[in-house]
Amino acid sequence: MHPVLKTVLGRLGLGVATLFIVSIIIFSAIEMLPGDFGQAILGQAATEETVAAFRRELGLDEPPYIRYLQWVGGAIQGDLGTSFSGRNASGTDRSREVIDLIAPRLWNTLFLASVTAIIAVPVSLFLGITSALYRNSVYDRTINTTTLTTISFPEFFVAYILILLLASLYPIFPSLANVDAATPLSERLYRSALPAFTLTLVIVAHMMRMTRAAIINLLASPYIQMARLSGASQTEVILKHALPNAWAPIATVIAFNLAYLVVGVVVVEVVFVYPGVGQLMVDAVTSRDIPVVQGCALIFAITYILLNLIADIIGIITNPRLLHPK
Amino acid sequence: MSKLEYRAIQELKYKSGQIDRRTFVRSLLATGVALPSALSLAGQVAAATPKSGGRFRMGLGHGSTTDTLDSATSENHFTLVNGYTFGNHLTEVSNTGELIPELAESFESGDAQKWVFNLRQGVEFHNGKTMTSEDVVASYNHHMGEDSTSAAKGLLTQVKSLKADGKNKVIFELENPNADFPFIVSDYHISIRPAGDMASGVGTGGYILQSFEPGVKSVLKKNPNYWKEGAAHFDEVELLSIIDPTARQNALTSGDIDAMDRVDLKTVNLFKRNKDIYIWDATGTAHYTFPMRLNVAPFDNYDLRMALKWSIKRQELVDKILLGYGAIGNDHPISTANRYHNSDLPQREFDADKAAYHYKKSGHSGKIPLSAADAAFAGAVDAAQLMAASAAEAGMEIEVIREPKDGYWSNVWNNDAKGWCACYWGGRPTEDWMFSAAYTDDTEWNDTAWKTTDSAVKFNKLVKEARAELNDNKRRELYYECQRLIYDDGGTICPIFNSYVSANSKAIATDENIAANWDSDGAKCVERWWFA
């Protein structure tokens, strides 16, 4: 078997094992959450009997390990269960499948993450490479200061500043990013502009500085000096000689930031009323809607594991030493 | 003709379009009005005359992924506003708080037990079908009967039988007389839909539903055949669920929406500075209470209850807990938005002497425990602390116990383990409804356990009597007395009524009267407001 394929399969196996452990952690963490769905939904009407009846109806009176096995068994077959909410005090059952709840939201989140990534990744790479190229120049310092400033502010602050500038004072973009399934692509892009800018500002610094550092680190290596001695220009040295060896750390950081875009943007979603999966999860935690929380957490874990896997593979492919181990 | 009369006539002509703005302003100038005032007067007159057109976008602080178009499941303000926008009911509460016929042209009863509703003729559903008594009966059956899961089922258990009498009349037979029955049928759950189609959002309302995404938004278009006159002025409507108050306020500031509910009180003073919007508030029926249980010592003592009632600085609670957006309560649950609010009762204020007098008379000594958690209402613990401080001025010691939020409604409220705690009530549109929810001896939610004192016995008798009474004046007398009994002997301390605080863009005009039975102009803002 080709060594790359073997390594990839090995990583994939490890990923599945990690996912399994994560599922146990998710389940036990939620088990430890204080509060009770019955009480949260029944409010003033929560007497001991009604809460007990609720727990029975939802199967919450079963021991934890049985519920865990049921959940994992379902999840493997793509069934994340049925949401708790929708069973209100009036007795009407309007609960929806967790998958149906998550799918449209997840699509929105992935859309926003992709738009942001399409802007942020090339920009960071470009800024990172050029600032390595013109190291310690005014250009380098300006880029560094600016990106470090935007990453230092909390997201909601960046978001409000952008709303103030680009929605209130100079109304170019809408402050509401309430897209839906029927929104046409152009409208969708227009509406997602401010959240995407906000996220770009928040993640550019990390990727840009990693690119710069990885390249600068290599510039001190003997083979770069050799390249210089053989008459290569600074641009050639960086693009042809340094960059290929810097892909592994850069890919890791990009993967990390992309994962963040999928799982960690709830604040931005709330500020711009963007119907993403983060907000769904926070709502679900507030109402103790356990199946939805578990489903979201599992999808987030898969996102992290997959993206890290891809970064690892890129690291292996671009590194001959890992590609041809002794 | 005097100048004033001339102005009034010109105003009428301008309103009805007989003269244009220029002529109107000129005639005002002729009567000695200065130009700036004349222009603003012209603006006001123009604003007071409803105009058609525009796309109205509203941000609402509710909405959930489990919302549906079936009015039986309505439970939050988003579904309320949405439901009232595309649907009608047999009766409605007007913006002045009166009960007026809606899909019923008139209603009558001789004994408050048999109610006859005469239906409006020629009303069409959005699907083109003409509304008849058959649809009304089907709409009601949707909420009644063993298998119904409607949230309005409890409201309609009093209906013994319901039948159509011809195409344009329905007759309800009740188990017991209920003079408030026409009020009950205005409830937001009991929307009239075409028979056999209760869930798709086809109604008779001023707007036709175009699309609905639960927890996100609802889009509607003006109904060209709307039967109601002087209503539904917008061409298109978009209702958005924007849960985060900051996001809602941002959207209004940046012009992405035209109106919003539930302004964040913490920032309302900053928000007010924006010149393009205006903040308005309406005191409805929602109130905060501190129920004392009469079956737990020391609250069985009349004088101790009285001492505590006199020891509260109500205005301070309105100013500090509600930041001014509310009204002081008078220790009974009937609000000024209700029909029979007893305005004759003297307003109870902080009075250290009276409190001390009753406290001494009660013979109680030591700490009085008061349980509170912010589960009861935002700021409940702070309110309890303020009460403890003012009681200390009258020589009483209230010990505030901070309870956990989780399980508050089962372990603290309405529980004999705690004699006194904090609570909230959304209020009810009628006196009988409010009393039967929390004060009569047969309700589970009687959180004061006020059942056996002489006054309580009398109260229960009067509530039953008032329910069967059709004479308005007699009912008023009975309900006044009921409020007095709770005010005097009851176990509840009701210091404040909280207001609905909303914000509109200045482009939106409303009638001078705004309903307070629900938030957002009785949840009927969409058909009542217009673009100025």
> E strand or H helix at B371, and its extent?
strand B367-372
Measure A51 CA to nearest chain B CA, in Å. 9
Peptide bond into B298 cis (omega under 30): yes
Q: What are the C-alpha distances in Å from B195 to residues A243, B40, B133?
A: 71, 50, 10
- For residue A48, what is the nearest residue in chain B, using CA coordinates? B410
Choose among A44, A90, A176: nearest Cβ to B251: A176
Phi-psi region of B167 (alpha: psi -120 to 50; beta: other; left: phi over 0): alpha
Cα gap B486→B333, rounded to integer Å: 9
ipTM value, please give it. Answer: 0.70
pLDDT of residue B4: 66
Percent of chain A predicted with pLDDT > 90: 34
How many angstroms separate the Cα of A131 from the Cα of each of A220, A235, B271, B365? 16, 12, 43, 77
- 3-class SS string, chain A: CCHHHHHHHHHHHHHHHHHHHHHHHHHHHHHHCCCCHHHHHHHHHCCHHHHHHHHHHCCCCCCHHHHHHHHHHHHHCCCCCECCCCECCCCCECCCEHHHHHHHHHHHHHHHHHHHHHHHHHHHHHHHHHHHHCCCCHHHHHHHHHHHHHHHCCHHHHHHHHHHHHHHHCCCCCCCCCCCCCCCHHHHHHHCHHHHHHHHHHHHHHHHHHHHHHHHHHHCCHHHHHHHHCCCCHHHHHHHHHHHHHHHHHHHHHHHHHHHHHHCCHHHHHHHCCCCHHHHHHHHHHCCCHHHHHHHHHHHHHHHHHHHHHHHHHHHHCCHHHHCCC
**Chain A residues touching B150 at Cβ < 8 A:** 90, 92
Mean pLDDT across B176-180: 92
Judged against a pLDDT cut of 70, whether residue B41 lies above it is answered with no
* pLDDT for position B2: 65
Q: Which residue has the higher pLDDT, B511 or A59?
A: B511
Of B153, B254, B409, the CB nearest to A44: B409
Q: pLDDT at position B342, please? A: 93
Residue A213 has pLDDT above 70, yes or no: yes
pLDDT digits (tens, 9 = 90+) for B137-161: 999 999 887 777 777 887 888 999 9
pLDDT at B15: 66
Collect all residues of chain B within an 8 Å Cβ-Cβ radius of residue A282: none
> Nearest chain B Cα to A51, which residue?
B410
Q: Is the CB of residue B459 less than 8 Å from the CB of residue B439? A: yes
pLDDT band at B480 (very low <50, low <70, confident <90, very high): very high
Percent pLDDT > 70 in chain A is: 90
Mean pLDDT value across residues A156-171: 89
Statement: residue B196 has pLDDT above 50:
yes
pLDDT, tens digit (0-9, with 9 covering 90-100), for B387-410: 999 999 999 999 999 988 767 877
Over chain A, what is the mean pLDDT?
85
Q: Hey, is B386 helix, strand or coil? A: helix
Tell me how long chain A is.
326
- pLDDT for A51 equals 72
Q: Give Cα separations from A98 to A62, A78, A85, B347, B386 (angstroms).
A: 20, 10, 10, 53, 45
Lowest mean pLDDT among A205-209, A287-291, B481-485: A287-291
- CA distance to partner chain A, nearest, from residue B149 (Å): 5
Q: Six-digit token pair at A305?
A: 């594991």
pLDDT number for residue A91: 43
Task: Grade residue B16 by pLDDT with cuts at 50, 70 and 90.
Answer: low
pLDDT of B35 over the 70 cut: no
pLDDT at A90: 39
Amino acid at B70: D
Tokens read off for B264: 């964040």
User: B251 and A273 in contact by Cβ < 8 A?
Assistant: yes
Q: What is the pLDDT of residue B64?
A: 77
* ∠ Cα B118 B122 B127 (to 5°): 120
pLDDT tens readout for residues B291-337: 999 999 899 999 999 999 999 999 999 999 999 999 999 999 999 88
Predicted local confidence at residue A92, as pLDDT = 47
Distance between B207 CA and the closest CA of chain A, angstroms: 21
Give the separation between CA B244 and CA B97, rounded to whole angstroms: 30
pLDDT at B464: 92
Length of chain B: 532
- Chain A residue at shortest CA distance from B415: A47
Q: Please give the residue that has the higher pLDDT: either B511 or A84.
A: B511
Lowest mean pLDDT of A278-282, B113-117, B124-128, B216-220, name the range. A278-282
B338-367: b (≥16 Cβ within 10 Å) or e: bbbbbeebeebebeeebbbbbbeebebeee
pLDDT, mean of residues B338-353: 93
pLDDT at B512: 86
Task: Judge residue B187's burial from the number of C-beta atoms within 10 Å of its C-beta, 0-12 exposed, 13-18 middle, 19 or more buried.
Answer: buried
**B172/A244: higher pLDDT:** B172
Q: What is the pLDDT of residue B45?
A: 60
**In this complex, which of A34, A171, A180 lies closest to B255 when CB atoms are compared?**
A171
With contacts defined as CB-CB under 8 Å, which chain B residues touch A182?
211
Residue A325 pLDDT level (bands cut at 50, 70, 90):
low
Q: What is the pLDDT of residue B68?
A: 82
Contacts of A290 (CB under 8 A, 6+ apart): A30, A37, A84, A284
Q: State the pLDDT at residue A316.
A: 82
Check CB contact of A178 with chain B, cutoff 8 Å: yes
Pairing of strands B104-108, B91-93: unpaired
Count Cβ–Cβ pairs < 8 Å, chain A vs chain B: 100
Q: Tell me whether A43 touches chain B (CB under 8 Å).
A: yes
**Torsional sign, CA B73, B74, B78, B82:** positive
What's the whole-number mean pLDDT along residues B213-225? Answer: 90
Give A-chain residues touching B75 at CB under 8 angstroms: 88, 90
pLDDT for residue B463 is more than 90: yes
Rounded Cα–Cα distance for residues A36 and B30 (Å):
72
Tell me what the mean pLDDT of segment A157-177 comes to. 88
Rounded-to-integer distance, Cα B59 and Cα B508, Å: 14
A97-106, A190-199, B82-91 — which is least confidently predicted?
A97-106
Provide the pLDDT confidence category of residue B26 given band limits of 50, 70 and 90.
Answer: confident
Which is nearest to B192 in space by CA: B74, B76, B90?
A: B90
Phi, psi for residue B402 in degrees, rounded to 5: -85, 115
Task: Give residue A88's pLDDT band: very low, low, confident or very high (50, 70, 90).
Answer: very low
Q: Do A167 and B151 touch (CB under 8 A)?
A: no
Considering only A101-115, A216-230, B63-77, B94-108, which range has the smallest mean pLDDT? B63-77
Cβ distance B493 to B309 under 8 Å? yes
Least trusted range by pLDDT, from A245-254, B39-48, B136-145, B212-221: B39-48
Q: B277-291 and B326-328 as β-strands: parallel, antiparallel, unpaired? A: unpaired
Whether residue A114 has pLDDT greater than 90? yes
Please give the Cα distance from B88 to A34 (Å, whole number): 43
- B216 token code pair: 């996100």
Contacts of B73 in chain A (CB under 8 A): 88, 90, 92, 94
Which of A13-27, A36-50, B153-167, B350-364 has the lowest average pLDDT?
A36-50
Give residue A89's pLDDT.
41
CA A36 to chain CA centroid, nearest Å: 29
Unique residue bearing structure tokens 């009460």:
B387
Q: By mean pLDDT, which of B268-272, B406-410, B480-484, B487-491 is the weakest? A: B406-410
- How is residue A20 written in tokens? 């399994």
